[in-house]
Structures are given as structure tokens and as C-alpha cells.
Amino acid sequence: MIPPDTVQKILDATRIEEVVSEFVSLHRRGANYMGCCPFHNEKTPSFSVSPSRGIFKCFGCGEAGNAVHFLMKHEHFSYPDALRFLANKYGIEIKEKELTDEERQAQTERDTLFHVSEFAQKHFADLLYNNEDGRNIGLAYFYERQLNDDIIKKFGLGYCLDEWEAFTKYALAQGYSEDALVKSGLSIKKEENEKRLYDRFRGRVMFPIFNASGRVLGFSGRVLSSEKTAAKYVNSPDSEIYNKSNTLYGIFQAKNAIARQDLCFLVEGNIDVISMHQSGLENTVASCGTSLTREQIRMIKRYTRNVTLMYDGDPPGIKAAIRAIDLLLGEGMKVRVVLFPDNDDPDSYAKKYGSEQIQSFVKENALDFVHFKTGILLKDAGKDPLKISQAASEMVNTIALVGDLMERTESVRECSSIMRIPEETMAQSVAKAILRNKQKAYEEEQKTSGTAPQETSQPPADETNTEPTTPLTTNSGNQFLQSFYPCEEQEKKIIEILLNHGNSTIKKPAKDENDNDIFEEYYVAALVIGDILNDNIKFDNPLYQSIFDEYATFLQQGSLPHDQHFVNHPKEEVRMLAATLLSHPYTLSESWLKKHNISTPSPSDPNVIANDVHDSILNLKMKKLEQKITEAKEQLKTTTGDEDIIILLGQIKQYEAVRMALGRELNRVIM
């Protein structure tokens, strides 16, 4: 709860070069500082710090941000903790914001839930060793799973007695309220009006779920009786402190090893996590009680970008792995996969072969996602050309999720070589898929913009992580733009045409030297740019003007920009715009499709493009004229001098005449 003006004060005082140089040795180079990047391995410095802009940027791995981001990334601080670090460094006092009554009550409720959960964990762990049933049933089970006492204690495992209300009664006697017991999910009220509370986890071995800083959030309880009706695992319901989609089982015990090894192993079950830790693979976590979520991935990302999935080799395991790959890549992670053979899971494999064997197995059998997924898809496709084509397009979609250009290029190279598709073809398809994704994201954003903000979910229980989202240049302000720039739609259409069809050719009627009717071929870009420059039309939106100018410069130099020029543009806002405006549906190259006997969709009809170009230019001119007329009429209201009024009226008349002419031309074409 750091007040915004204090945050600003901290940011103002912060000198990025001073912060970074606490961790990285920096050397001055011109206005900037250079050093070896702490986020990837390198011998020659490509890590740059700019004091004037207050940012760092690595030209090797692409990591970039301000001092707060640096601390969050380097020291694994939460956003408020990074600010506190800086406040401390620059001697700025933080007066934590006064809580409102509501906030204080929520805070108290959270505290109460933390306390009762911690109490329960200690109690269950105590029963495991100091109660007869605990030893004979609970501990016996863990021993049978070959877990040793050290690991049982490390994970705080326990046992809940097989009685209806033993725990609840004990907790109430210790002063915990019914309300807290019910809200934490430890006790259940069967009916709303019923007085009696029951133990949720009776007769189960208990796996406490910790947050990253080691507080107990909830439990997962495994049944031991052979009762067929009982669920194998029962988990705490979501509560004020526990939300299963942003919790990772084992993160507290694993986080240091994950950061140290710069690698996280992701397994499917709680017992797999514990078993891996016992085998020395302490960088292992699981997404407990749910399939992998984005929130869980972001949690891992605070410690590493590298994830190796260790899922079962059966069809559900493979399916889960394939889903997880896309999700992980989408969050900027690097993914490898290990599948265990012969129906083994990490736990059973570790037991069969021991810890050295499993460590070397994982090392030798981790496949990068390209090899893993193409292997699965091609095996499934056999020699069926249609299925091979589908496999290729699935791989294209997955590779398109890789955010880093170098990594993506490498993935394309590997995949095209495995699938025997020309690298160029694959690269083009991937580029198109990326554009399509961006388009989709843009449309989604359009749909949701104006409605209530989506992310109203509470912060993860382990941190009061109020990290603001980076103010990326997105299109969410589009509605605003439309009222700000009257010709926004028409201007955008011109840029869209340039980007999509600039290097297509269309035919226009003309006369030869003997006055015969002929058709001349023009590049769309030459036509559009020539026409707009000719009428001396300026774009109101400076972003569009800059793209237009850049395109015009290419033309003046007698060339056309490369397909990918604007998509890979150094300016982020240009890249974003190009990506949203380029909207070709993804297709494999014609020659490849022909080779595999798949019929191709017909390319865009030049006549359609020609009409589109014609209308769009006229629409822009029309809108610009209307704008001028409106402006002149506005001006008329405040003009007093007779002569000035006459000049203005003359101008308006002229504009109206041109507008009539344009209107006629537009109508003719539209009809």
C-alpha cells in the first residue's frame, strides 16, 4: 500500500545506473553504460544502461525495463518490495496508506485464514508422528511410497484422523472461530442452518500447499481407505488466501533451486514433486488440482524462463503436454519435454531406478518442443498427406507463439528440416500466423474495450503484487482516436491498403500516344501515394503519416519495402499497427500445397483491390473536405470583418463544389 505520490518520488530519485551497478559491473560508453548481461550468459558486454532514459536493455537476450523491473527480475522482488528497496536506498520514507475499514476487515480476514491454516498444518504434521493412527496409517503410507522423514518434514506432510469432527472440535477448543474454519475449507457445514461442523479431510494424508514465502494457503488430502465412493484427492476450496489457478505445489521448497539452476521441472502430481525433490531434482513444482494456467507460468517466470515438462507418456499426459507447450511459449518461456516410458511417471521411475538414473534420464531425454511435438504429430499422421499438412499448420501455429526472433528462427529451421518443408515456406507461414494472432488479439480488444476492466481477480495470495502493466502501445485507445482524428477510419484504410496490397499491381484505363484505349499497369503503392501527394493531403494521425512517408521514400528510391519491413519495424507502435492491419489468412505456399495435392484458395482478385483502392482514396478526400467545410463554418461564426466573411464563404462554396464532384464519382463506382 504505497501511495502513488510516494511511488513517483521514489522513481524520480532513482538513478538506474546506480541501481544496476550494485549488481553488474558497468563501464561508461558515451552517454550510456555497458556491462555483461546478468540475465543471460555472455562474455562480451551487450547489456546497456541509459541514464537519460532511465532504462536498461540487453541486445543479446532482449531483456529491458526500468530500475524497478531490473530489481524484480534480478532479485525476484515483488513490485512493492522493489519500490521499498529503492526507497531505502534513496532515503525516502514510505508512509503506508491508511487502510479503509473495508480493507482492514479484508486484511484481518486474510490474517485469520493464514493463522488457522498454519495451525491445521502443524496439527496434522504432529498427528503423523505422535498419534497411533497417524503413524500406522498416514506415516505408513508415506513410507510405503518410499519417502524419508527428511522429505516428509520438508513438505510439512500430515494426517487427518478418520473421525467426523475431531479436527474441528480441537480447533474450536483452541479458540479458532467457526467462520474461519468454514471459510478456510477445513470444516464443512452440510446445511446452511445446521449447527454441526464436519472435518473436510477425515482419514486422509495431508499435503499442505505453501505460497512462495512459505505460508500455508490450503491443503490437498489423499484418501487412504479403499472406499470407492470417496474422491482420491480432496483440495481446499478457493478462499480469500487460496486460489488454485495461481498456486504452484512445491514453489516454496523449489524456488531457490529453480533460480540457481535457471530451470524449472513441471510435473503433474504432488507426490511426483516430493519424489523428485528426494531424488535431488529440487527445482520441481506441479500445477496442483488444475491444468496449467498463465498465472502459474508467470509465477515460474519470476525465477526462470526455462521449463521442462515431465508428464506421463500416456495419451492424457501427451495431450496435457501439448496444451502446456503453447501456453508456456505464449508467456515467453523456453520449453522442453521429457516423457517417461512404459507407463511410468516421475515418481514410479525414480523409485524403480534411483536418483542418479533419473537425473541422467532427464538430461538425456529432454526434447525441445519442436522435436517433441513434430514427433507426436508425424507419428499420428503416418503417410496421409492431409494429416501431414494439418501437422505442419499445427506446428506453424505453435512456433508462431515463440516471441523471441532468434529462438523462433531456430525453431523454424529445426521444424522445417524434420518435416522436410522448405525453411522459407515455413518462415513465411509462421510470420502470417503471428499476424493473424495479433489481428485476433486486436479484435478481441476491440470487442472488450469500453466494457469493465477484465482483470478484477484478486492478487495472488502470496504477495501484494500490484505491479502495473507496462503501458505498451496498444490499440485500446482506438475509440478515443476516432473522436480525436475525424478522418481516423479513412486514413487507416489507406495504410491498410499500402501494407496489404502496396506491391500488388492493378490495371487502369489510359490512352496511348495514338489516343487508343489501353490498360496501364500500376503498383498500388505508386497509385495511392501519387494521388495523395498530388492533392497534398496530410494524415491527422502522426503514426499513419510516418508510415506513409516511409513508404513514399521507398518509392522515391525506386523500390518497394520488403513484406516484413513494417512488421519488423524498430518502432514498436509501427510494428503493432502493421501486425493488426495485415490480415492475410494463413496458407501454405502454393508449390508445397500442389506437391501434396491440396487445392489452393484463389488469391485476391485484382479487380476487387482496384475498386477498394479507388473508393478508399475518394473516401479519404471526401472526409478531408467535409472536415474543411466544418472548420470553415466554425470559423465563420466567430469572424466579424466583412472581407474575411466573404473570403470564407467563397472557400466553403469551392469546397462544396469539389465535394459534389467527388460524390458523383463515388456513386458511379459504388453502383
Binding site for Zn ion (CB under 5 A): 37, 39-40, 58, 60-61
By C-beta, is 333 or 528 nearer to Zn ion?
Answer: 333
Q: How far is the CB of 60 from Zn ion (least distance, A)?
A: 4
3-state secondary structure 410-453: HHHHHHHHHHCCCHHHHHHHHHHHHHHHHHHHHHHHHHHCCCCC
Let me know: does 127 contact 161? Beta carbons within 8 Å: yes
Rounded Cα–Cα distance for residues 66 and 72 (Å): 10
Rounded Cα–Cα distance for residues 233 and 266 (Å): 19
Angle at 264 between CA 259 and CA 268, to 5 degrees: 145
By C-beta, is 26 or 388 nearer to Zn ion?
Answer: 26
By C-beta, is 40 or 659 nearer to Zn ion?
Answer: 40
For residue 200, which of 216, 214, 218, 174 has the smallest C-alpha distance? 218
Q: How far is the CB of 305 from Zn ion (least distance, A)?
A: 11
Q: How far is the CB of 26 from Zn ion (least distance, A)?
A: 14
Q: How far is the CB of 78 from Zn ion (least distance, A)?
A: 22
By C-beta, is 55 or 658 nearer to Zn ion?
Answer: 55
User: CA 189 → CA 114, 204, 278, 633, distances in Å?
Assistant: 20, 19, 38, 73
Rounded Cα–Cα distance for residues 467 and 211 (Å): 18
Q: How far is the CB of 61 from Zn ion (least distance, A)?
A: 3
By C-beta, is 34 or 281 nearer to Zn ion?
Answer: 34
507 sits in which H/E element: strand 505-511
Q: How far is the CB of 58 from Zn ion (least distance, A)?
A: 3
Q: How far is the CB of 333 from Zn ion (least distance, A)?
A: 16
Rounded Cα–Cα distance for residues 534 and 496 (Å): 20
Q: Are strands 204-210 and 216-223 parallel, antiparallel or unpaired?
A: antiparallel
Q: On the CB side of 19, how many CA atoms lie within 13 Å of its CA? A: 31
By C-beta, is 73 or 202 nearer to Zn ion?
Answer: 73
Let me know: does 223 contact 236? Beta carbons within 8 Å: no
DSSP at 30: T
Let me know: does 579 contact 434? Beta carbons within 8 Å: yes
Q: How far is the CB of 274 from Zn ion (least distance, A)?
A: 34
Q: Which residues contact 270 (CB under 8 A, 6 or more apart)?
A: 207, 220, 249, 250, 286, 288
By C-beta, is 263 or 325 nearer to Zn ion?
Answer: 263
Q: How far is the CB of 99 from Zn ion (least distance, A)?
A: 40
By C-beta, is 39 or 340 nearer to Zn ion?
Answer: 39
By C-beta, is 37 or 392 nearer to Zn ion?
Answer: 37
Q: How far is the CB of 74 from Zn ion (least distance, A)?
A: 11
DSSP at 68: H
By C-beta, is 409 or 464 nearer to Zn ion?
Answer: 409
- What's the grid cell of residue 571? 518502432
By C-beta, is 39 or 442 nearer to Zn ion?
Answer: 39
By C-beta, is 61 or 560 nearer to Zn ion?
Answer: 61
Q: How far is the CB of 75 from Zn ion (least distance, A)?
A: 16
Would you call 620 helix, strand, or coil by DSSP?
Answer: helix
DSSP at 218: E
Let me know: does 540 contact 488? Beta carbons within 8 Å: yes
Rounded Cα–Cα distance for residues 472 and 586 (Å): 26
By C-beta, is 59 or 198 nearer to Zn ion?
Answer: 59
Let me know: does 398 contact 412? Beta carbons within 8 Å: no
By C-beta, is 74 or 202 nearer to Zn ion?
Answer: 74
Q: How far is the CB of 62 from Zn ion (least distance, A)?
A: 7
- What's the grid cell of residue 376? 507426436
Let me know: does 399 contact 375? Beta carbons within 8 Å: no
Q: Which residues pair with 233 in a beta bridge?
A: 222
By C-beta, is 40 or 387 nearer to Zn ion?
Answer: 40
Q: How far is the CB of 59 from Zn ion (least distance, A)?
A: 8
Q: How far is the CB of 475 from Zn ion (least distance, A)?
A: 29
Strands (E), 198-318: 198-199, 204-210, 216-223, 233-235, 264-267, 284-286, 306-312
Would you call 336 helix, strand, or coil by DSSP?
Answer: strand
Torsion of CA 546, 552, 553, 558, to 10 degrees: 160
For residue 307, which of 355, 369, 253, 361 has the smallest C-alpha distance? 369
- What's the grid cell of residue 596? 501434396
Q: How far is the CB of 41 from Zn ion (least distance, A)?
A: 9
Rounded Cα–Cα distance for residues 117 and 245 (Å): 19
